[in-house]
Amino acid sequence: MTKNSSNIMALAPNTSNKRETVCIFGTGDFGRALGHKMIQAGYPVVFGSRSTQISSLIPKDAEVLSHAEAAQKAAIIIIAIQREHYNFLTPLAEILQGKVLVDVSNNLKINQYPESNAEYLAQLVPGAKVVKAFNTVSAWALQSGTLDASRQVFVCGDDMKAKQMVMDIVRALGLTPLDQGSLLAAQEIENYPLQLFPMWKFPVLLSLGLVAFFFFYCLIRDVIYPYVYENKDFSFFIAISIPNRICPILALTLLALVYLPGVLAAIIQLYRGTKYRRFPDWLDKWMLCRKQLGLVALAFASLHVLYTLVIPIRSFVRWRISSHIVSQALNNKTEPLDNTNAWLSDSYLALGILGFFLFVLLGITSLPSVSNNVNWREFRFVQSKLGYLTLILCTAHTLVYGGKWFLSPSAYRWCLPSAYMLSLIVPCIVLVVKFVLVFPCLDKPLTRIRQGWERKPQYSK
């Protein structure tokens, strides 16, 4: 390796390709971590601090000066200080004239202040060029070599040249700058690190609600009813039988809920005769979290598979099989093989296996690393065509499982049908409506509407 190689340059700030000095206000956790990273990348760093005493925590190649002295040494000043303390910058306004001020601050709450911290900084120091950056990177990530999740740095600012200078620094640190436009974007960038899985809220809350509902439903039907009418204690069903009933119900219902907004959107577009009108807000939000709904459904399907695998080793199941064999032996009578039952049980299992296989395939193709490698048509083919095939297979799996008991009075306890019957409601609605929508008399106008055709001009009188 030659002496001019980039690796050596990164560690040796005093080479011929010397970088411009960067000033950092604040010697706290973030200021120090950023300073350390910048020195590694070859930037001379000068800290502006209330105390000029060098502490052992401060990177050893950095200088520590007063705010005013440090500001004079650099064109770019990173303000690694909480917004509440920005007032100290007002007396420095003259020195900061024309400098690039980088606002890295975050807040404790979403939309905590009427304006973003970066806009507030621009108001305090009107002569400076404020750029928002680095707030989505943590001090810990900078120190520990940056993780993939924190490699992206959102940058925004009104001055193009200032923004470019900051983006160059971001790149030099081995991070990826993402230009978000003017300083108006700062509020959104500041809210970003405060969001907690925003797309997962609805799917998770809905799943929790459905789990609670179906748990009590199964408890009433499968534990309380036999106890009241037959004096049988099936309370142990709570451990495996009831969860193994809830998981497939949730998997099927949530999978159907992934496709329901699509058919609702189609009906709305057909009714309106145009695609140029916004869907209701709730439908928009529902469509945005379809991937998360599908992944939660896949998690329940996987749990169902695991619960099913342990069925043969359950004590209750082994007891039932052995007592059946003993009763046949005592009666000296062997039951002949029921061919219909054998067919039904094998078909039910085959449909379940195929449905789960496609379910997993859908999950894999939704991963960014896979979906980024297929084109839009391929992605749509997998998510729409294979998705509907999965829904058909899983619905058929449930229908074959219990179809023969639909009309049997014993399937209704306290007038409540078996829980799996409820799980068929949404999937059957989705599949029937989708089936109707593929008829040419509806599919053709829908395709034309989606290509931009309008049944009647929206703005005519």
The residues of the shown chain that bind ligand NAP, judged by CB under 6 A, are: 26-31, 49-51, 80-82, 85, 88, 104-106, 135, 138-139
Q: Which two tokens stand for residue 187?
A: 């509020």
Q: Which residue is nearest to ligand NAP (CB)?
A: 28
414 vs 311: CA distance, rounded Å: 28
> Half-sphere exposure (CA, 13 Å, Cβ side) for 218?
26
Minimum distance, C-beta of residue 171 to ligand NAP, in the bound complex (Å):
19
* Residue 262 CA: distances (Å) to CA of 67, 276, 412, 437: 57, 16, 33, 11
Q: Which is nearer to ligand NAP, 107 or 418 (CB)?
A: 107
Q: Which is nearer to ligand NAP, 133 or 246 (CB)?
A: 133
Minimum distance, C-beta of residue 162 to ligand NAP, in the bound complex (Å):
19
Q: Which is nearer to ligand NAP, 83 or 397 (CB)?
A: 83
Minimum distance, C-beta of residue 25 to ligand NAP, in the bound complex (Å):
7
Minimum distance, C-beta of residue 453 to ligand NAP, in the bound complex (Å):
49
Q: Which is nearer to ligand NAP, 173 or 293 (CB)?
A: 173
Look at the chain and count its residues. Answer: 461
Minimum distance, C-beta of residue 29 to ligand NAP, in the bound complex (Å):
4
Q: Which is nearer to ligand NAP, 90 or 327 (CB)?
A: 90
Sequence-ordered list of residues with C-beta below 8 angstroms from that of 13, at least 6 positions apart, any chain: 19, 39, 42, 43, 44, 61
Minimum distance, C-beta of residue 7 to ligand NAP, in the bound complex (Å):
27
Q: Do the beta carbons of residue 129 and residue 166 sit within 8 Å?
A: no
Residue 195: count other Cβ atoms within 10 Å of its Cβ: 10
191 vs 289: CA distance, rounded Å: 20
Q: Which is nearer to ligand NAP, 12 or 57 (CB)?
A: 57
Calculate ∠ Cα 251-253-254, nearest 5°.
65
Helix (H/G/I), strand (E/B), else coil: 433:
helix
Q: Which is nearer to ligand NAP, 107 or 390 (CB)?
A: 107
Q: Do the beta carbons of residue 185 and residue 225 sit within 8 Å?
A: no
- Name the maximum alpha-carbon separation found in the chain: 105
Minimum distance, C-beta of residue 104 to ligand NAP, in the bound complex (Å):
5
Minimum distance, C-beta of residue 138 to ligand NAP, in the bound complex (Å):
4
DSSP state of 19: P
Q: Which is nearer to ligand NAP, 26 or 387 (CB)?
A: 26
Helix (H/G/I), strand (E/B), else coil: 112:
coil
9 vs 15: CA distance, rounded Å: 7
Query: Hey, which residues does 176 pair with through a beta bridge?
Result: 152
Helix (H/G/I), strand (E/B), else coil: 135:
coil
